[in-house]
Amino acid sequence: MRTQVGIVGAGPAGLLLGRMLQNLGIDAVVLESRSRDYVLARIRAGVLEQGTVDTLIAQGIGDRLRRQGMVHENMQIRWAGRRNDFTVEDEKGRRLTTYGQAEIVKDLIERREADNLPLLFSAPAQRIENVETRPRIHFTHEGAERTLDCDFVAGCDGFHGVCRKHIPNADDRTFLKTYPYGWLGILAEAAPHAEIRGFAHSTRGFAVASARSPKIGRLYLQVDRNEDIERWSDEAIWDELDRRFEDGSGHRLNRGRILKKDLAPLRAFVCEAMQHGRIFLAGDAAHIVPPSGAKGLNSAVGDVRVLAEGLRRHFAGTGSDLLDHYAEICLRRIWATVHWSCLLTDTLHIAPNQTGFDLQMQYATLNHWAKTELGRQHFCNAMLGLPYEV
């Protein structure tokens, strides 16, 4: 097999890149290690920045997103037993939209299949040869060992992927912060409560109440990073959520059948070596943020936009400037996003050895964001995300 761009990974980064290249007339093959069913069932992000929404619509895959996406009116954060509402809309009309990552992935897969473009499931990339000159991806598919020759490799294979290992000395330019806590997440057949949304900072730990649809809720509890989540009964989870969201109003979350329960460790990770020769990393393969800021998928879209435009210029023969500076351009946005995601995480979670002093510092930060003009602007801009440079 031969193509112009070999894309490793059919998450949002790889699939969107495939779609953007298709619209630019550039051939690509997408290789995905997991099965089609597994990829479609994977539940993750839900909060999209305006730039992500606009990108998906501009690429012709925004029909369902436009119909089903839920625009955020404002954002609630509770602390010290009180509810505070934050405006998350700017003068340009930028807002946040909830639309599940699984839905974006479904829209992209179905479109790629309808257009008869190559997307191979259960096809894990094993290793890549000649990343400096003429890359050859070795992968397995249907029990056979196969190869894909390409002009470029896009490593969109997530945090645990193989592409990063093909960048020499990548570990020397890698930064990692591991948090002592994680998120116990539930997907529940429970209509999101109109009055209980957003974040809760409680001395018992952090909690999140978000919506996947008008009938399905996605909620999280801060727990130990090694928590045995099976010891949490459904009732214990709902009780704990109610305790953390307590604000004196008497409202209680709508309860319902828990469809799925998972544990997400929290970490921040940046591999600054995002490119080498003809291989480029995008999305979680190069950077992870703790999910508090809801920025991971949005950052992946930022990378993919730069990469697609860089590849367009290369194949059109109009210069290699963008590809040459790919990592540098992406990292400006990435570090700003990591900074905000970590600040938000530190401010909202209760650390295992947290002191009363630390708690007062968290309240001071939250009050600054809620009650001063400068703080409100900072919070709103950071939540809405940086505009894309490319």
Kindly tell me which residue out of 34, 177, 225, 378 binds ligand RFL, with binding defined by CB under 6 A.
34
The amino acid at 157: D
Q: Where are the alpha helices (DSSP H) in the chain?
A: 12-23, 36-41, 50-58, 63-68, 101-114, 234-245, 296-316, 321-324, 326-348, 356-371, 373-384
31: β partners: 8, 120
Single residue of 5, 13, 187, 196 touching ligand RFL by CB under 6 A: 13
- Shortest approach of ligand RFL to residue 253 CB, angstroms? 18
302 binds ligand RFL (CB under 6 A): no
Distance between CA atoms of residues 280 and 285, nearest Å: 10
Residue 46 binds ligand RFL, judged by CB under 6 A: yes
Question: How far apart are the C-alpha atoms of 125 and 352, rounded to whole Å?
Answer: 40
For residue 314, which phi and psi values (nearest 5 degrees)? -60, -50
Output 166 or 295, the one with its CB closest to ligand RFL: 295
Exposed / middle / buried, residue 352 (Cβ in 10 Å: 0-12, 13-18, 19+): exposed
From candidates 6, 217, 283, 302, binder to ligand RFL by CB under 6 A: 283
CA distance 40 to 258: 19
Per-position x/- string for 188-227, each x denoting binding to ligand RFL as judged by CB under 6 A, each - no binding: ----------------------------------------
| 47, 56, 153, 344: which one binds ligand RFL (CB under 6 A) | 47
Contact region with ligand RFL (CB under 6 A), list: 45-53, 237-245, 324-332, 347-355:
45-53
Q: CB nearer to ligand RFL: give 32 or 107.
A: 32
* Site for ligand RFL contains 298 (CB under 6 A): yes
Task: Tell me whether strands 275-276 and 28-31 are parallel, antiparallel or unpaired.
Answer: unpaired
List of residues contacting ligand RFL (CB under 6 A): 8-14, 31-34, 39, 44-47, 101, 124-125, 156-158, 161-162, 183, 185, 264, 283-284, 291, 294-298, 300
